[in-house]
Structure 1
């Protein structure tokens, strides 16, 4: 009787996430174990490999599926580790997403978008790539997740990241030379007469840190005081309050502001006007990105331009090449100054 009622009750294992649940570990641990990484202890690695073999899950199963382009969908994920209140409606995100959607549609792919807060979802990237719903992934921004992205890149090839390039990093990135952009910004402010410069932005974000470092290079070279760091979030409601507080404390002691983004620069303009500080007569101001908003502010905003359209083309091109099995180098784009009236 027992034999007649016996059924195959084995858990179906189709993805890394399924295998991780069965093994009682994170998807990241499974990914690293199947890739033979020493970061996973031998006992755990053996357990995972045995389970994979028992359930017919091959280490290259997901990659082979990707080569067949099973879904026709590219995942685009935005990790918000350094500023959880930032919204996808941010002007930079919307501009880049628009170009990405155009490029992916042209190549015959659909786009699946996710906004994640790593603090509450530490396996955000492993779960996405192991979901079986996407053929590859584009990560917009490294946030504070550089090491997590590096770990995943070791065992997952069809991934390209918009962000800052560091020598020796393992993940493939497309982005602007942020340090050079910071130098360009500081040089412009100093040429316009600024001598006491402040940086507005979050210096813990990799791209912003590189922009600040570039500006500090120039200030030191020109013998100016160190740049004042006014740490500011990117969500508009918090940023406006923080900028107002910064200006109340430092407004009379600075004559140049380098904003980490055009959005922050536009908020600066509003708060400076409220304080009775005239731009550019009292304070010179420069942003970064050269988004459409930079042409619409009063006065029009001087900005360091990122070629976001070229960046989107690069992200899609490199991802498709990696889906085809190629090994690709990172793409670092040159920044350019767009001079208008604020500096």
Structure 2
């Protein structure tokens, strides 16, 4: 009886024979290439399942000079990866999309200068083929370093500063904030506060701009708070707002996590949501729907964002230029406002 080690493993030519296509077509399907008809792709995928063929990533890397992996790079404190559900949604979507291409996602977190240096060295050494930059701060030098090194990079959100040559996948931050602010105003709220993110991030800066522009003459700088995206920061910001203006009747928090913190602070102050103060968020990351009360929020298309980022970075890796993409948001009305 033959030992398991002596049983011949199926090859790419076996797959081609079963599928009735050339081994070149099989190779293009395996490597996620274009120019393969849907019929041929289906035939190859069925033949792979029938033969039990598995890709040799080591051999493919030697042949192509690629690592067959992409970095998911988060430039935030580590705890936000677990406390902010938006990052988990993007991580899951990117992982699933890359798995369909038989590629691996490598999670990298660079908060400190030492972490940034280590990750820059890791990426430059060729351990990944490209980078999905999930968050960016204007003062963070990492993006500039990636660009200077010629690392294929795609950003989630439009980075601040001169980054015109970096493809991005974003939503209309200003327009979305204007839509939410307009909704609150049409509901009859007049003394509307805003809690937004750091000014050196695109979400923090542009959502505040959209709010201010939509409020027009009704904009009051004393009703503005900016802080990090966390529940604790949202609660602290709401407490400060209530101390300055206890007659606030609505608040727009530029993330669901901050909105949850704001609601906790409102309740500690003896007020009700939405009867005394309406609260609106931004993201619709799952937290909004399950919270009590459920949050009115701006829904970002998380699956589309992560899928588009992966498609884009793979094109950039293969040498195909890509234009930046802006995806639509959706106003979701629930009980909080």
Q: The residue matched to 1:285 in structure 2 has which SS?
A: strand
Distance between the aligned counterparts of 2:124 and 2:313, measured in 1?
A: 17
Determine if the alignment matches structure 1 residue 105 to structure 2 residue 92.
no
Number of residue pairs the alignment of both structures matches: 273
1:216 to 212, 219, 223: 212
Aligned to 1:320: 314
Q: The residue matched to 2:71 in structure 1 has which SS?
A: strand
Contact 2:176–2:207 (Cα < 8 Å) also in 1: yes
Aligned to 1:74: 70
What is the CA deviation profile of residues 218-258 of structure 1, one whole-angstrom value per residue up to 9, with x for unaligned ones? 001xx31335221222344x426523532441351322211
TM-score (norm 2): 0.74
Distance between the aligned counterparts of 2:91 and 2:78, measured in 1?
A: 19
Distance between the aligned counterparts of 2:332 and 2:204, measured in 1?
A: 19
Residue 314 of structure 1, CA deviation: 0.5
Contact 1:159–1:319 (Cα < 8 Å) also in 2: yes
Segments of structure 2 that go 5 or more residues without pairing to the other structure are 1-60
Contact 1:164–1:177 (Cα < 8 Å) also in 2: no
Determine if the alignment matches structure 1 residue 203 to structure 2 residue 203.
no
1:293 to 278, 287, 290: 287
Q: Which moved more, 1:223-232 or 1:316-325?
A: 223-232
Aligned to 2:182: 187
Q: The residue matched to 1:254 in structure 2 has which SS?
A: coil
Contact 2:108–2:119 (Cα < 8 Å) also in 1: no
Residue 172 of structure 1, CA deviation: 1.1
TM-score (norm 1): 0.73
Q: The residue matched to 2:121 in structure 1 has which SS?
A: helix
Segments of structure 1 that go 5 or more residues without pairing to the other structure are 1-64
RMSD: 2.4
1:173 to 168, 172, 176: 168
Q: The residue matched to 2:106 in structure 1 has which SS?
A: strand
Q: The residue matched to 2:218 in structure 1 has which SS?
A: coil
